[in-house]
Structure 1
Amino acid sequence: MTPEQLKLLRQQLRKQRRALPQRIRQQAGRKVAQRLHRQAVFRQARHIGIYLSAFGEVPTQAIIKLGLKQQKNIYLPQIRNVDQKLQWVCINRQQWQNRRFSIHRLGMHEPRQRGISVNRLNLLIMPLLAFDQHGSRVGMGGGYYDRTLWKKHKAYRLGLAYDFQQVEYLKRQPWDQPLDAILTPSGFSSFRSAKNL
């Protein structure tokens, strides 16, 4: 895929996501939470990093509520100014209910406290624009997750997407960080050899 084709793909998928009615988005958010609840990787995880949906992604509110209810440690990303990598801030139920977050210049909500390294997470739930059957992922274009995961980390990488975001094939660049699995409203799929491609 050429840089121009990738740019067009990003534009198309952003537009398609934004066009989804709120009802469909909320329904997708509930479905992925129900599917994730049945997965061993979620049941066993104690420290879970997850994004707050802000740009038409699959809503994560139901997953966050589920994790807090099960007394898991839920962490939201925060962009470090010094190196543009993500650090992870643990939130509690009260903070979540009161929405005590600041707004980053890019438009997403961030917790205000100090964060921890991605190395401390068991499960990392990642947003994306496109994915393929090999675990390759196209993000929003900022490269925050790729920079953060550049060296090997133990966190299980789970992409969260709508079914229409799957494409046939994505050429992986050396800096692109693959997924361990993908979760959509219709299913959960593992990529056993994702990191070897």
Structure 2
Amino acid sequence: MDKKGYRELIKQKRSTLDIIMKEEFDRNIRSMLLQTEEYKSCIDLFIYISIGGEVDTHEIINKSLELGKKVFVPKVNKNTKEMNAVQINSIKDLVEVPPFNILEPKEISKVVPEDSIDLIIMPGLAFSKSGDRLGYGGGYYDKFLKHNRKAPRIALAYEFQIFDSIPIEVYDEKVTHIISERSIRTII
């Protein structure tokens, strides 16, 4: 199967996931993440804002802010095709951005260099057991990750998103951990 095939398969599986089951899976994933040493020890956390069928991150963001962590979220620059890490103090600091209605920070005054982040929590459509990641096709995370080699990269995913292998390109960046509703996989 090619990348397009994996993307379509996972989007279809996520769209048919029972809402009660999804909430249970999300709780399990959130609980496991919050217990990791990587999460407990981080100060500057970069995390995606979940949409649609992705593993929900809103509660993780709220909990992280409660704990006094600095929370940074993606802000995409469509002109440069890059992503910045922008600090937020609340989910209320976010607005929907067309055309996909992805939540992003209203303002970009608190941008930090990628290499100052302690932990990166990221989405994806498919992952391999060896840490390969298939995203949505924009390359934003691959570019962002090239500037931060030190921070652990934790992917949040449902078990059906994890495969023995997936198609990759030379520029595709790996994750160091995959947390699903069943387990934490440490890759590197």
Task: Assess if the C-alpha contact under 8 Å between 1:29 and 1:62 holds in 2.
Answer: no
Aligned to 2:114: 118
Aligned length: 186
Q: Deviations over 1:3-43 (max 9, x none)?
A: xx221111011111111132222222211111112110001
Q: Check conservation: 1:118, 1:153, Cα contact below 8 A.
A: no
Q: Deviations over 1:80-117 (max 9, x none)?
A: 2332111111111xx32x36424242321101221223
Give the direction of change, closer, same or farther, for the CA distance of 1:128–1:43 in structure 2 (3 Å limit).
same
Runs of 4+, deviation exceeding 4 Å: none
Match status 1:178 vs 2:174: yes
Letter in 1 for 2:53: G
Structure 2 residue ranges without an equivalent (≥5)? none
Tell me the residue number matched to 2:103.
109
Report the alpha carbon displacement of residue 49 of structure 1 after superposing the two structures with TM.
Answer: 0.7
What SS class does the counterpart of residue 173 from structure 1 fall into? Answer: coil
Alpha-carbon distance in 2 for matches of 1:24, 1:60: 16
TM-score by length of 2: 0.91
| TM-score normalized by the length of structure 1 | 0.87
Quote the sequence identity (%): 27
Q: How big is the shift at 1:151?
A: 4.3
Q: Secondary structure at the match of 2:10?
A: helix
Query: Deviations along 1:114-158, whole A, 9 cap, x unmatched?
Result: 122321211110101111111001111111101222345322111
* Structure 1 spans left out of the alignment, 5+ residues: 193-197
Aligned residue in 2 for 1:58: 55
Residue 42 of structure 1 corresponds to 39
The structure in which a higher percent of residues are strand is 2
Q: Contact 1:29/1:61 (CA < 8 Å) preserved in 2?
A: no
**Structure 2 equivalent of residue 195 of structure 1:** none
Q: Does 1:27 align with 2:21?
A: no
In the other structure, the counterpart of 1:159 is: 155
